[in-house]
Structure 1
Amino acid sequence: MQDIKQNLADAIRKSRTELGLSQEKLAEILGFDSRTILNIENGRGNPKFEKLYPLVRHLNISADRIFYPESVTPQPNLQKLFIMLNDCTEQEVAELLPAVHYLLALMRKRDNSEQ
């Protein structure tokens, strides 16, 4: 159980700092006491679902980062892209898809011609 608590602590701290948030600011955003964030990041206590759910959702932490950290490869740009896409409406994603397909085709064609 301690490994899961440490995985959770590490995932929350990493995501929070990547977003440039202090523990106090994150607590303020979520309406928590700042000690709650401090305790979770230090692997202390057992956060209730009512605290854990908004925290993990706000920081966009996938379950894999907590339960299977060894399988998660660090790809910060991909993570940033997922976060950006997660904030899009379905209509925005639908409009972005053709542009993404086009850009990927151009990039891959360029890469193949350079080899």
Structure 2
Amino acid sequence: MQDIKKNLANAVREYRSEIGLSQEKLAEILNLDQRTILNIEAGRGNPKFEVLYPLITYLKIPSDRIFYPDKENQSPSLQKLLATLNDCTEQEANDLLPMVRYMLDLLRKQGNPTL
């Protein structure tokens, strides 16, 4: 259980810092006590689901990052891209798909002139 707390602590700290939020600001946004964020990032306590769910979804932390940190994961950039796409509606995803395919094709041709 301690490993999961450590994984959660590291993930919350990393993703919070990445978007430039202080512990205080994150607590304010999620309507939590600042000590709650502090304790989670310190690996202390046993946060309830009612605290974890908004925290993890707001920061868009992939569950693998917490429960399977040693698993060979995708790169952080790919994880962020997938988290962003997971936040799309079905219609948005449908509209984005041709654009993403087009952009990938351009990037791949740029990276490999022989294509």
- Range into which the TM-score falls when normalised by the shorter chain: 0.7 to 0.9
Q: Does 1:34 align with 2:26?
A: no
Contact 1:65/1:72, CA 8 A, preserved across alignment:
no
1:14-53 superposed matches below 5 A: 14-53=14-53
Contact 2:62/2:83, CA 8 A, preserved across alignment:
no
1:2-81 superposed matches below 5 A: 2-73=2-73, 75-81=75-81
Aligned residues: 115
1:4-28 CA deviation, whole Å, 9 max, x = no partner? 1101100111111111111011111
Aligned to 2:92: 92
Of 88-97 and 18-27, the range deviating more from structure 2: 88-97
Whole-angstrom distance in 2 between the partners of 1:63 and 1:84 = 14
TM-score by length of 2: 0.86
Of 70-79 and 89-98, the range deviating more from structure 2: 70-79
Of 85-94 and 21-30, the range deviating more from structure 2: 85-94
Contact 2:62/2:79, CA 8 A, preserved across alignment:
no
Whole-angstrom distance in 2 between the partners of 1:53 and 1:88 = 18
- Following superposition, the deviation at residue 63 of structure 1 comes to 1.3
Whole-angstrom distance in 1 between the partners of 2:91 and 2:84 = 14
Whole-angstrom distance in 2 between the partners of 1:16 and 1:41 = 10
Unaligned runs of 5+ in 1: none
Aligned to 2:105: 105
> What amino acid does structure 2 have at the position aligned with 1:44?
R
Q: CA RMSD in A?
A: 2.0
